[in-house]
Amino acid sequence: MKWVLSGIRTGIHTTAYPSAEERAAGVTPGLPVGTALGAEAAVLAGRCPTHALEERNGVVTVDYRRCVHCYRCRPALAWRSDYEWAGSGAGRGELSGPFLRSTHILVVDAGDCGACLNEVKQLNNPYYNMHRLGFFITPAPRHADVLLVVGPVTDHMRVPLKKIYDAMPTPKRVVAVGACALSGGVFAESFVCGKGASTLLPVDVEVPGNPPPPLAILHGLLVAVGRKPPATLASGSAG
Amino acid sequence: MLELIVAYFALLGIGILLSLAVPPARQAGVLAWTGCFAAAAAVAAGATALLAGYGFAQTLWTVPGVATLTLRIDALSAVFVLVTGLVLFPASIYAASELRGHGRSFNVLLLALYASIVLILIAGDALLFLLAWEVMSVLCYLLVVSGRHRENGAQVGSGYLLLAMGEAGTLAVALGFLLLALGAGSMEFDALRSAASGLAASARWSVFLLSFFGFGVKAGLVPVNTWLQRAYAAAPRAFAPVLAGATLNLGLYGILRVNADLLPAAYAETGLVALVVGAASALIGILYATIDNDLKAMLAHSSIENVGIVVAAAGAGMVFQAVHLPALAALAFIASLYHMVNHSLYKTLLFIGVGAVETQTATRDMDRLGGLIKVMPLAAAAFLVGALSIAGLPPFNGFVSEWLTLQTMLRAAELSSIGAKIVFALSGAALALTAALAVTCFVKVFAMSFLGMRRLEEERRAGEAPPAALAAMAILAVLCVGFGVLPTYVIGMLDPATVQAAGAAATQALVPPFFAPGAQLPPAFVAEFHDLGAQVGQGVLPGPGLVVLHRGGQANPVVFAMSTSYMLVVLAGLLGLTWVALRLWLTRERRLARGERWDGGLRRLLPEMTYTATGFSNPVRVIFDAIFRPTTVEDTRETVAEHFRNAIRREKERVHLVDRLVFGPARTATLAFSRALAAMHHGRINAYVTYAFLALLIVFAVLPTL
Amino acid sequence: MNGAQLKEHIERTWPGQASCRLDAEARVNEVTCEPGALAALCGDLFHERGLAFGGLVVEEGREDWQLRYVFYGARDSGWVHVRVTAPLAQSVFPSIAAQAKVFAADWHEREAEDLFGVHFEGHPRLGDFVLHDDVWQEDVQPMRRGFDAATAMNNRLPDADWRPRRVVHESGAFMMPVGPKFSGVTESVHFQLETVGEDVIRSWTRLFYKWRAVEKLAEGKPLEDALLLAERFAATTAFAHGLAFCQAIESIAGASVPARAQTLRVFLAELERLRQHAGAIQEICESTALVVATSQAGLLEEELLRVSGALAGHRYLFGLLAPGGLAADLPGDACRKALAQAAGAVARLDELEGELAISSSFLDRIEEVGVIFPRTAVAYSLVGPVARASNLARDLRRMQPYSRYDAFAFDVPVEEEGDGYARLRVLFAEARQSLRIMQQAAADLEAGEVRAAVTPRPGAALGWAEAPRGATLHWVRLDDAGRVARYRIVTPSFTNWHSFHLAAEKFAFQDFPIILSTFDLSAAENDR
């Protein structure tokens, strides 16, 4: 009984997203915004450890799949403090129909550092409460509609990840979460790491960030089922 | 109908002679043909006796001044003769295919056993009964130890135990018959029956206990069942189905013959004893079956369980008979006989199935089997029918008899004695628990042996069972389904036997004639059931109807009702509709994709990573630990440098409850006693002379007083 | 025994075979030892002197192997580095796990054999540790200088018949595989539980599914890039690992970090500890399916993540550290605001602890479950809350204070039972102590620089920190160009995973995930 009272006393903390924007402090680390910098652009682009910054004609463009939040490009580049970052991948369209409000997600750790996984875990806490949007975590691929991959896909996890993907019934979508799953992140050069989930599976939704905050992952899931349009953050082209 | 009996024995005689004459290659054919024809004759005899009401009484041989040997077939015998025939038919087919390594002696012994079984069933007097019983016991022993070096090293010990305990049982039975005969002056059953009413209470109890536990040895009642699990496990594959399907029933026949026919219960207490012993046997039997991993030993324990149910129902019948509730007594005896019939059918089926598995895989250990459904699908299907039947699932035969038994237990509400009600309630609870454990046990058996990953070594080539085994199993499977789906006809067929046992007909009470228009049923009652479709089949199907129900009094017009016939129709209909729906609507646009089983992302799922039978039944082991009381034989840990573990070896040993509580102490006491007596044999001549002198003194002193 | 006494004892007991060089200021005793005396010496240090075994660092020199066994004790004992060398062609050393019964070294030796090809004589379980035998053939040795990744990856001969070793011999025993994908949101780890039914008789853990070869990747990298790896290989405790790395660099460069930076470093490290402990508490409640407590703890974890994000710009405190101090300053107001929010969170944690302490259904599931005995904790040199719950009062902040920890007053909570509930109580108590330290740090924030210049120069040093999960050691060697030549990371999860199987045994399947959650282990931290 005390638990019931304790719960009632705590009150409701759930975010209004996606109906309204979430503005609390600390919900997102933000991402850099491509800017025209003139002569310094080339120097700045060279400083990025994962080659996420490219310089073309004095304009710095950002490949969001590679940004690992090292913050070396601050304060030269402006910083965006939103969280709706998920973009489309290979493009099989969204899962619509019955999955719009009831989606079962299988989370596979393909070598992540723990931060992306922890952010995914936060989706179940009262602040985000993804159940209210119809998202559920399932442990078995046979019941899963969406495969959420974190990590750069280490060598030892290649076979398990492929088996997991094959065990899922169609229709299915793959959401790659985090810089490691999109491009390998800081581990891209390691000989036992892949350069992301797209080397092995068709990725439908890409959520950049290192780690992407829970709201960005939520946005990615909403994109996967078609309740939100994908973001058009520049990835490799003029931003 | 006498001709059919004569034909039976004649065929067996021809079979024995042919076996002695014919070369080994032809032995199988002799066994198959003569066994089948003889069995068919038995079926015909039993059927005509039951359905057409023919009986006969025939004097076989008169030894002047000593005894008259008579043959007699009445309804009770006919039921058992019919069942024996039904079982021996497929069993002969199967035994013929497993004759390799047995030689002509096996044939002779088996056919002689067939003869002795029916002789026991149609014996009309106690002397012929006992003679045939002895012959049957010895033949069983010889058959169990036959083929000993080829199949199983444990046979010799088990055979001796079978013989020894069998003889002890026979002795008890003989004493019982003698007590009955004391008052009657003759050994014939008719005479015994008429004299029985004049027996004193102590004599009645003695006869009951002697015959109950004496025949209980053969039937496998606790606490005299200790030989059964060993002998059944040791019996050669060709003989085990007959042992379980035909000879087991002889014990039940004996109990029913003496306690329901010759000496009907006058006190409720005798029935309660039977009820309690039956319920206890059922529970103990199924507990040990559930934790056993050896297919044959498990089936043996399961036989103990089923016999317990039969005896419990018979005990309930005796109670009702004693308190003058003949309708309920009839219900109870129907349940008892029905279960006996069902058990014979599905147990024989399962033993043949186990034999087929053993032939193909050379192992009976469920922990080492698995995935057999892919290599022997037909045998698996038949085995599944047997497993579903013994687990008591509708619409198979086991369901009907277990349901009737449990309903009988509930009828304790109509008893007046509180004590009897309590006993009924507790026994009913034990039987319900037994039913649940039976499901557990047979789910484990089927799943671990046939489903899942193959655990056998790669080199072992296991294929489909031979056609003989499949044919035998198919016959029995069809019978299992038939006896399950047409209970109203079976009850009608068994009824004459219950009339004899309970003194009342069950059919009227259990199978109301829905097919006959109007008849003696109240119109409102008929209308209610017609709304449920009870009249479907009217005019087309013979018999009274397809619904089994029990009519109570004014307050409770229908106590219980069920119809496995309609259940089958509905089940088939639902499955069919589902299949059609899937085909037409749900899979129209979708392909069927076959993938690997999900194994958590492992590279390779290995057989040692799948559940074993031991693991499956572990909860039962743990919950009933007080009954099993395992002792740890080994529990060692080997390590290298104290830290790197090489092996953890554990082994536990379980002694059967009955051995622990009854035979263990009895053996210890007997050995202690004989050790004490052995002190007398010290070799001193003087003492021996003194012993002789004392003996003479006693004789001269005591004798005059007698 | 203090450093000088240790030196004297060692040189007296193994004359001619072991010689010590004591750096009294750094409190490091560097012992150069002959391979023949290695087992006895290490055994003496571990069993007789009661030092903790920190880790084994293997370095491939130009002509020889250089092995460094790191032991540490309380403050005055300091660090003891036992160095052995052998020619490259002769890569056999005695196994101190087998020969000296220093069980804590077991996994270090297996890792060295897999990655370097160094053989440890007497160790019966070398192989199939980091490099799974069903993926890699033998003798790959990826950490060797001459390793050619392309050739190795293209010419693999996995063992198609690989099976896990079976230890339990009982009729009906089978292995229940768990993972690598199991449960809801968990890391990829594989367990084999040998059982005959419900109770786990023996449990075996297979890690390194997430092996990213961070130590290899770091070689040749400039300091800032190596720091990125240090922060991001186990990002739930990114700050602690980054701090240990920076301290190693500062030690090599001889740089002294300004006081403000030290204080802020302590503040941030404790904030991270608080947040990670809230997360661990949430995991424990979730494993027992106590939903309201899970939600309460989840609320607190998210709040602390937001506090961290608002204060530092990144929820996991990435990008704050730099060799020599901090990359950027944090204003005092922001710190005080964060402190107030953290205090509120700790107050609610206290409430939660009180409510859990009277939930008998919850306690039933974690009391007396998953026990690690004190002798096991000592034998495996366990670290962190797991060790402190088994009566092993080891905390690097106390034993070998770093940064400004010796200026602050705090307790190191210790429990005796070693069961799941003891570990939970330690987590709650440490959260309170973290707040206490944060309050002292925020009150003691003097104005000043937050970064000292650091010129990398060749050399090697050990950096350490008490991460939320326990002691972590980072050994860094810089080459002439100031780049990383060798980066060895010993993580608390690596140390504690070693003992996990013992806690899981003799309990039922259903207790397994609960026991796992009470250990707060990270596969990412272990696998690197």
C187 touches chain A (CB under 8 A): yes
**What is the domain-level CATH number for residue A164?**
3.40.50.12280
- Residue C185 at interface with chain A, using a CB cutoff of 8 Å: yes
Asked whether residue A35 falls in the same domain as residue A61, the answer is yes
Tell me if B562 sits within 8 A of B548, measured CB to CB.
yes
Residue B133: what pLDDT? 94
**What percent of chain C has a predicted confidence (pLDDT) above 70?**
100
Q: Which domain holds residue A55?
A: 31-80
Buried b (16+ CB within 10 A) or exposed e, B595-615: eeebbbbbbeebebbbbbbbb
A68: CATH: 3.30.70
> Among the residues of B507-651, which ranges form H helices?
507-510, 523-531, 564-581, 613-616, 618-623, 625-628
Q: Any chain B CB within 8 A of the CB of C176?
A: yes
Length of chain C: 528
The mean pLDDT of B569-592, rounded to a whole number, is 83
Domain match, A76 and A101 both = no
Name the nearest CA neighbour of A44 among A91, A5, A78: A78
Take residue C154 and report the two structure tokens written for it. 């293209």
d(CA B246, CA B234): 17
Can you read off the two tokens belonging to residue A210? 């290192």
Are the Cβ atoms of A27 and C232 closer than 8 angstroms? no
ipTM exceeding 0.90? yes
Contact B596 A163 (CB under 8 A): yes
> B104-123: per-residue pLDDT in tens?
788 889 999 999 999 999 88
Q: How far apart are CA A107 and CA A112, in angstroms?
A: 11
A to B CB pairs, distance under 8 Å? 20
> What confidence tens digit (pLDDT) does each residue in B236-249 have?
888 999 999 899 99
Each domain of chain C, given as residue ranges in start order, spans 3-154, 174-206, 214-527
Q: How many CB atoms lie within 10 A of CB B541?
A: 15
Chain A: closest CA distance from residue B450 (Å): 24
Those residues with Cβ within 8 angstroms of residue B594's Cβ, 6 or more apart along the chain or in another chain: none
Number of Cβ pairs < 8 A linking chain A and chain C:
189
Whole-Å CA distances, B146 to B27, B219, B352: 16, 22, 18
Chain C residues touching A4 at Cβ < 8 A: 292
Q: What angle do CA B238, B243, B247 make, to 5 degrees?
A: 145
Tokens of A91: 């493009």
Q: Is the dihedral of CA B415, B418, B421, B427 positive or negative?
A: negative
**A180-190 pLDDT, tens digit each:** 999 999 999 99
For B406-436, b/e burial (b = at least 16 CB within 10 A) is bbbbebbeebeeeebeebbeebbebbeebbe
- If 0-12 CB within 10 Å is exposed, 13-18 middle and 19+ buried, where does residue B217 land? buried
Q: List the structure tokens of C105.
A: 């070294």
Total domains, chain A: 2
Distance separating alpha carbons of residues B236 and B231, to the nearest angstrom: 10
Q: Which residues in chain B have their CB less than 8 angstroms from residue A153's CB?
A: none
CA separation for the pair B241, B345 (Å, rounded): 10
Which of C210, C236, C316 is opposite residue A111, by nearest beta carbon? C210
Partner-chain residue, chosen from A140, A160, A166, that has the shortest CB–CB distance to B595: A166
The SS3 assignment for A19 reads coil
pLDDT in tens, C110-169: 999 999 999 999 999 988 899 988 888 878 889 998 888 888 888 888 888 888 999 999
The model's pTM is 0.87
Does C435 have pLDDT greater than 90?
A: yes
Q: Are B251 and B210 in contact (CB under 8 A)?
A: no
Least confident segment among B61-65, C361-365, C477-481: B61-65
Average pLDDT, chain C: 91
Residue A26 belongs to some domain of the structure: no
Cα distance between residue C466 and residue C400, in whole Å: 10
Give the separation between CA B511 and CA A171, rounded to whole angstroms: 55
Same structural domain for residues A104 and A189? yes
* CB proximity C406 to B under 8 Å: no
Task: Tell me which residue of C504, C280, C243, C494 sits closest to C382, measured CA to CA.
Answer: C494
Size of interface B-C (CB pairs under 8 A): 101
CB-side neighbour CA atoms (13 Å) of B551: 17
Tokens of B566: 């309609």
Strands A53-56 and A59-62: antiparallel
Higher-confidence residue of B583 and C432: namely C432
pLDDT for B589 beyond 70? no
d(CA B249, CA B339): 11
| CA A157 – CA A160 distance, rounded (Å) | 5
Q: How far is the CA of C29 from the CAs of C10, C26, C61, in angstroms?
A: 10, 9, 21
Q: Does A212 touch chain C (CB under 8 A)?
A: no
Q: Same domain for A40 and A119? A: no
B609 → chain C, closest CA residue: C175
A168 and A132 assigned to the same domain: yes
Q: Which is nearest to B231 in space by CA: B318, B305, B163, B327?
A: B163
State the nearest Cα–Cα gap between B456 and chain C, in angstroms.
14
**Shared domain check, A106 and A63:** no
- Clarify whether residues A70 and A131 are in a common domain: no
Between B160-174, B195-209, C211-225, the lowest mean confidence (pLDDT) is in B195-209
pLDDT tens-digit series, residues B264-320: 878 888 899 999 999 999 999 999 999 999 999 999 999 999 999 999 999 999 999
Does one domain contain both A71 and A94?
no
Is residue A24 a part of any domain in this protein? no
* Residue stretches of chain A with pLDDT short of 50: 235-239
Is B643 in Cβ contact with C167 (below 8 Å)?
no
Q: Which long-range contacts (CB under 8 A, 24 or more apart) does A37-40 make?
A: A37/A76, A37/A77, A40/A76
Which helix (H) or strand (E) covers residue C56, if one does?
strand C52-60
What does the longest C-alpha to C-alpha distance in chain B come to? 103
The model's pLDDT over C484-513, given as tens digits with 9 standing for 90+, comes to 999 999 999 999 999 999 999 989 888 999
pLDDT in tens, B342-401: 999 999 999 999 999 999 988 889 988 988 999 999 999 999 999 999 999 988 999 999
Buried b (16+ CB within 10 A) or exposed e, B187-211: bbbebbeebbeebeeebbebbbebb
Which chain B residues are Cβ-neighbours of C180 within 8 angstroms? 600-602
How far away is chain C from the Cα of B630, in angstroms, using its nearest Cα? 14
Q: How far is CA B604 from CA B586, B600, C173, in A?
A: 33, 10, 19
Question: What stretch of H or E contains B148?
Answer: helix B148-151
Tell me whether the omega of the peptide bond preceding residue B619 falls within 30 degrees of 0, making it cis: no
The reply to whether residue A164 touches residue B601, judged by beta carbons under 8 angstroms, is yes
Residue A187's pLDDT is 93
Q: What is the pLDDT of residue B147?
A: 67
Most B CBs within 10 A among A155, A161, A163, hence the mutation to make, goes to A163
Q: A7, C295: Cβ pair inside 8 Å?
A: yes
Task: Evaluate if residue C296 carries a pLDDT over 50.
Answer: yes
Q: Is residue A128 located within the same domain as residue A38?
A: no
Considering the domain architecture, whether residues A73 and A139 belong to the same structural domain is answered as no
pLDDT at position B71 is 85
C positions 191-220 inside 8 Å of B (CB): 192, 195-198, 201-202
Q: Are A176 and A149 in contact (CB under 8 A)?
A: yes
Domain boundaries, chain B: 1-190, 265-506, 616-653, 659-705
Domain C214-527 matching CATH 3.60.15.10: the answer reads no
Task: Say yes or no for a CB contact (<8 Å) between C101 and B606.
Answer: no
CATH of domain C3-154: 3.30.460.80
B598 touches chain A (CB under 8 A): yes
pLDDT for the residue A24: 87
The 8-class DSSP code of residue C22 comes to E
What pLDDT sits at residue C357? 93
Contact yes or no for B648 and C190 at CB 8 A: no
**In a shared domain, residues A140 and A52:** no
Q: For chain A, positions 64-123, list CB contacts with chain C under 8 A.
A: 68-72, 106-115, 117-122
Cα–Cα distances in angstroms (integers) from residue B176 to residues B125, B191, B277, B502, in the given order: 13, 15, 19, 21
Residues from chain C contacting residue A127 (CB–CB below 8 Å): 298-299, 302
The pLDDT score that the predictor gives to residue B152 is 56
Cβ partners under 8 Å of residue C6, min gap 6: C20, C29, C49, C77, C78, C80
Give chain C's end-to-end CA distance (angstroms, integer).
35
The whole-number pLDDT of residue C77 equals 83
